[in-house]
């Protein structure tokens, strides 16, 4: 793949990150960062782990699309899983937001004592430790996104798995500055908020979770 195309993919990620991604995924990144006060040496570590996971997923998907050489067949099948990730993400945000807002009482702890697959997945990304942001990033890389679909289309036409992977790696790296900034600022905000403001923030996160669940379920309702 020629350098100019890689530069275009990187630029698409950079400009998309500042505009599209900030609006669509910024709330998710912000929500997790506000809700989870990560115990890390530096507040940047959780964000870097999250973005590493996300870009890894993009790169892997780019390799798959490039290797298969077709966007439509693969994307149609993948959409079902992607919107399931969106619903799961929304559910996580809802739970975390309600927990931060102090509205769950002991319910959340009782739920998490069950060992269903979904709750095990939730436990792996919920918590204060910085390392949890890595599986979170890996998972959220699957979120459906119109901009990333366009990049997957380019990867499918790139000529091979390696080319497709590099294309998505360039795109993913372009999105990192904006996502890093949003997550870092949200984490600092979470640390600075106290008492009632923090609980209000939790409510906002919970409502965003409802929005993402609604969007995900709407996809299945219209199919």
Partner 1 sequence: MSKRVRTSFFRIFAPLVLPAVVSALLSGCVRGSEMPPPDCMPEMGACIQNGLSFSISPSPVRAMRELMISVGLLPLDGDMAGASGELSVMSELIVEFTMPGMKMGENRVRLKRNAHGIYEGKGILPRCPSGQRLWRAAVLAPGAAEGPGREMAVFLFEAR
Q: Are 14 and 100 in contact (CB under 8 A)?
A: no
Query: Closest CB to partner 1 among 127 and 177?
Result: 177
203 CA to centre of own chain:
20
Residue 76: CB minimum distance to partner 1, A = 6
> Contacting partner 1 (CB under 8 A), which of 3, 23, 113, 115?
23
Geometric angle at alpha carbon 48, from 47 and 54, rounded to 5°: 90
Can you tell me the distance from the alpha carbon of 200 to that of 97, in angstroms, rounded to the nearest whole number?
9
Residue 53: CB minimum distance to partner 1, A = 20
Residue 143: CB minimum distance to partner 1, A = 8
Query: Closest CB to partner 1 among 128 and 197?
Result: 197
Is 215 a binding residue for partner 1 by CB under 8 A? The answer is yes
Q: Are 12 and 171 in contact (CB under 8 A)?
A: yes
Query: Closest CB to partner 1 among 46 and 148?
Result: 148
Site for partner 1 in 121-180 (CB under 8 A): 143-147, 149-151, 153-154
Site for partner 1 in 54-113 (CB under 8 A): 71-72, 75-76, 79, 83, 86
Geometric angle at alpha carbon 55, from 97 and 121, rounded to 5°: 40
> Contacting partner 1 (CB under 8 A), which of 1, 10, 14, 16?
16
Is 14 a binding residue for partner 1 by CB under 8 A? The answer is no
Is 48 a binding residue for partner 1 by CB under 8 A? The answer is no
- Judged by CB under 8 A, which stretch of 12-20, 40-48, 117-125, 158-166 contacts partner 1? 12-20
175: Cα within 13 Å, side-chain hemisphere: 36
143: three-class secondary structure by DSSP: coil
Give the DSSP per-residue string, 81-139. Answer: HHHHHHHHHHHHHHHHHHHHTT-STTHHHHHHTS--HHHHHHHHH-SSBGGGHHHHHHH
Using CA of residue 70, residue 5, residue 61, residue 91, what is the dihedral sign? negative
Residue indicated by tokens 């077709």: 70
Query: Closest CB to partner 1 among 53 and 90?
Result: 90
Residue 91 has φ and ψ, to the nearest 5°, of: -65, -40
Q: Are 184 and 43 in contact (CB under 8 A)?
A: yes
Query: Closest CB to partner 1 among 96 and 151?
Result: 151
* Binding residues vs partner 1 (CB under 8 A): 8, 12, 15-16, 19-20, 23-24, 71-72, 75-76, 79, 83, 86, 143-147, 149-151, 153-154, 196, 200, 203-204, 207-208, 211, 215, 218-219, 222
């Amino acid at each position: 793949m020629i350098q100019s195309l890689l530069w275009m993919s990187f630029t698409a990620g950079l400009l998309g990150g500042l505009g599209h991604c900030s609006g669509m995924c910024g709330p998710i990144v912000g929500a997790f960062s506000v809700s989870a006060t990560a115990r890390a040496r530096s507040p940047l570590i959780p964000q870097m782990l999250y973005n590493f996971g996300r870009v890894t997923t993009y790169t892997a998907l780019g390799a798959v699309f490039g290797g298969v050489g077709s966007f439509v067949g693969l994307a149609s099948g993948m959409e079902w899983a992607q919107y399931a990730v969106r619903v799961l993400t929304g559910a996580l945000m809802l739970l975390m937001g309600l927990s931060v807002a102090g509205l769950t009482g002991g319910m959340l702890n009782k739920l998490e004592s069950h060992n269903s697959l979904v709750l095990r997945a939730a436990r792996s990304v919920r918590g204060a430790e910085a390392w949890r942001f890595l599986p979170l990033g890996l998972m959220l890389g699957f979120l459906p996104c119109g901009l990333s679909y366009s990049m997957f289309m380019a990867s499918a036409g790139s000529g091979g798995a390696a080319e497709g992977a590099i294309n998505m790696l360039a795109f993913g790296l372009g999105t990192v500055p904006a996502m890093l900034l949003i997550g870092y600022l949200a984490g600092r905000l979470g640390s600075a908020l106290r008492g009632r403001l923090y609980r209000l923030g939790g409510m906002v996160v919970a409502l965003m979770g409802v929005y993402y669940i609604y969007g995900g379920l709407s996809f299945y309702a219209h199919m």
